[in-house]
Structure 1
């Protein structure tokens, strides 16, 4: 078993494609195929299921994938310990993130990161928080980012950003601030409410935070459910109703005058965003670099 074989195998699984894998590790497609075939012959097991549309690992392939990634990470760590980490460090990082970090935080973070490390390529995918956790336990993604707490013995969570949920209302709505702060439950029961769909970290955190304020979701006048924050912001800006969203997401719409934002008691409506990865994952130098960078990004 050779490193080139493992590199080819990992690349094919990550990209579900022989051709994409060939492009990413700068080998020809026939060479990639030859590496996979020789690896399967050596192990005496089928590692990949080849279809007309994509390539998927068998169960044996999935088991090997995790071990192969760790072997390659240890190799890279050994090389890095000798050569040191510098701006020439290259590699890929795949992230499955929930809506708010995917749309409103990662573009800023990755842009700043790549100014220092321009040869590291990111693959960012979006899903709701529950799907992020499920997807991360599979084989395709290095990291997950979620807006709610994660309870899994198989995952490590790293808090990196303190977010605040704020109430948003249409710009045209005339609101008595004193009324909101004096009796929030009464105010919300009188308004049409735009709700996030099931599975969202924002939805789960919002329900818990509202419950602490004595507000039951069942007593809200919910007029629509949307699966992403951008749609909720648009719906509220059109006058559909009121809602709660991440403060970082509301900022742009507030600046252009499409919504009004009410930052309620920050302690009561605060939450942590978490970077999540599998416990058994041996972090490569590139991955370690990103984790450290993310931990320090909002504190520097």
Structure 2
């Protein structure tokens, strides 16, 4: 059996509510034969009489009454779905899927989410914690609407724009006495805690050490900034990490921070699909992200 047709159900409900086919036709801006056809097709599809026709108009049968009750619910749900999509497209409501790394979610997104809650309270931001490469794949597949990534090298069908350029510094145990600016050669002689090899930060750190002609030998590699800071504070080693937000808030007690020489930056880029297919809710999130852009 074919699926029920919402237009035919709307015709049935109108005929029952208004009492005649002619009144239903006028209300729905249809011809009377079209109204009769809609009801006849429903009855044929379901194999049961739905309306009783008489001189006093039309009345629902038992089956017709049951279908009308269900049809009202279906039509209401359909109208609500259409309205939700309209509001999503207009940017007044909806749901946007945003992918970012743990550190960005921890230190930078709270400000974005607070602003969204104040100015666009009916837009729900669904946060997914993903690395750069998984995020790019997810945007391409349509599993994410926006991603914050560590590279501007993205597939041709995606839009990429600058978002933030945050300085990276040496995070060291408080008992260490580093030079005013930490060099690759000085830091390579210390126990190190490094980002794991799947991350952009790992590649940047390796390149920074290579600029000083040294190859680091980390004691441990991981992909969670706050865990790395905890190990630094415990005296396990040093790490090169981005400073996200105020410097004073970036370190835990027991950590000493120092700038790097040469200077190193963690660049973050916004990635999304081409603007013609970006809905209004996503545009509102992109506008809010611009508020804390820093390059």
How many angstroms apart in 2 are the aligned matches of 1:292 and 1:215? Answer: 42
Does residue 129 of structure 2 align to residue 130 of structure 1? no
Structure 2 spans left out of the alignment, 5+ residues? 7-72, 79-83
Q: Which residue of 2 aligns with 1:47?
A: none
Structure 1 spans left out of the alignment, 5+ residues? 5-29, 36-71
Deviation of 1:191 after TM superposition, in Å, equals: 0.2
Please, which of 268, 291, 294 is the counterpart of residue 296 of structure 1?
291
Q: Which residue of 2 aligns with 1:15?
A: none
8 Å CA contact 2:135, 2:144 repeated in 1 = no
Q: Which residue of 2 aligns with 1:226?
A: 222
SS at match of 2:244: helix
Deviation of 1:234 after TM superposition, in Å, equals: 1.2
- TM-score scaled by length of structure 2: 0.64
8 Å CA contact 1:144, 1:277 repeated in 2 = yes
How many angstroms apart in 2 are the aligned matches of 1:140 and 1:169? Answer: 38
8 Å CA contact 1:164, 1:246 repeated in 2 = yes
Deviation of 1:296 after TM superposition, in Å, equals: 3.3
How many angstroms apart in 2 are the aligned matches of 1:243 and 1:142? Answer: 32
Q: Which residue of 1 aligns with 2:168?
A: 165
Which structure 2 residues correspond to residues 47-66 of structure 1 after superposition, within 5 A?
A: none
SS at match of 1:118: coil
Deviation of 1:185 after TM superposition, in Å, equals: 2.6
Does residue 195 of structure 2 align to residue 200 of structure 1? no
Deviations 1:17-58 (A, max 9, x none): xxxxxxxxxxxxx96xx98xxxxxxxxxxxxxxxxxxxxxxx
Which shifted more, 238-247 or 136-145?
Answer: 136-145
- TM-score scaled by length of structure 1: 0.63
CA 1:202–1:113 in 2, change beyond 3 Å: closer, same or farther?
same
Deviations 1:101-152 (A, max 9, x none): 2221112211122211111111101022122112222232111111233332
Deviation of 1:158 after TM superposition, in Å, equals: 1.6
CA RMSD of the aligned region, Å? 3.1
SS at match of 1:177: coil
Q: Which residue of 2 aligns with 1:271?
A: 266
Q: Which residue of 1 aligns with 2:18?
A: none
- Size of the alignment, in residue pairs? 217
